[in-house]
Amino acid sequence: MIHSKEAQVKRCLLYNKGLMPYQEAHEWQKSLLAERVHNPHLDDVLILLEHPPVYTLGQGSNSEFLKFDIAQNQFAIYRTERGGEVTYHCPGQLVGYPILNLQRYCKDLHWYLRQLEEVIIRVLAVYGLSGDRIPSLTGVWLEGRKVAAIGIKVSRWITMHGFALNVCPDMTGFGRIVPCGIADKPVGSLAEWIPGITCAEVRSHIVQAFTEVFGIEIVEEIMK
C-alpha cells in the first residue's frame, strides 16, 4: 500500500498568545485535551503564552517548598494535576503547552520529557549557549542555573501542561519558593547571558525547534 506524503504529516495548530491568566489557560488546556480524548484524530496543538504572576503546585507537591503562609498570602496560587513541585510564572517567562497525542509519536513519558528538554536545548544553541540535562532531574540548566522547568499531565496518551523558559522575567518571585523543590540549584534566566533578549524573539525559535524535534507541520491559528 502506498501512503501519500500528506497522510504522513503530523499537523500541529499553533496558538501564539500574549499575557493570559493561569486559570483561563488551564481551563483551555483541559477543554482541548477532553476534545482529543473524545476524538483522537483531531490535530495536535501548541500554545505559547505568558502568565501574570502566579505560583502553581504539582499534584502531590509539598507546600513546605513555599516560603510564605498560604492562608495569608497575597499571591495567586493554583494546585494542578501536572507532575513536579512548586514553580513560579510571570511576564518574561515563555510558557509552552503542547496538547499532543503521543500515540502518533512514542508512548513513553520519559521519551516525551526528554523531547521537551531537547526543544529548549536547541533554542539555547541558537544563541551559542549549551543547555545541560541533570540525570534524575527534569528541566534544562545553563552553567548550573535552571532556566527551564517542565511538568506534564497525560490522559489516554494526550498531553497537557508543558514547559516554562525563563527568558527575561523579574526573578524576585522565585525567592519566595524552593523552585521545583530543588534547594541546592539556583534558577536563572536567559537575560543573564543575553542582555536585551525578549520573549517575542524567542517564540519563533521555540516553534522552529519544536517542529524539528517532533517532526510536525505547524499551522498557525489566528484568534480574535
Q: Distance between CA atoms of 50 and 127, rounded to whole angstroms?
A: 21
Q: 109-126 vs 199-214: helix axis angle to the nearest 10?
A: 130
The CB density around residue 6, as the number of other CB atoms within 10 Å, is 8
| CATH architecture for the domain at 8-220 | 2-Layer Sandwich (3.30)
SS3 124: helix
Where do the structural domains in the chain lie, given as residue ranges? 8-220
Residues 4-12: what's their mean pLDDT?
Answer: 68
DSSP run (H or E) holding 115: helix 109-126
Once rounded to an integer, what is the mean pLDDT over residues 82-99? 90
Cα–Cα distance between 86 and 140 in angstroms, integer? Answer: 16
Catalytic residue numbers read: 180
- Interacting residues of 80 by C-beta distance below 8 A, sequence separation 6+: 26, 56, 57, 58, 59, 153, 161
| Nine cell digits for residue 221 | 491559528
What confidence tier does 70 reach under pLDDT thresholds 50, 70, 90? low
Least confident piece of the model among 68-72, 73-77, 159-163: 68-72
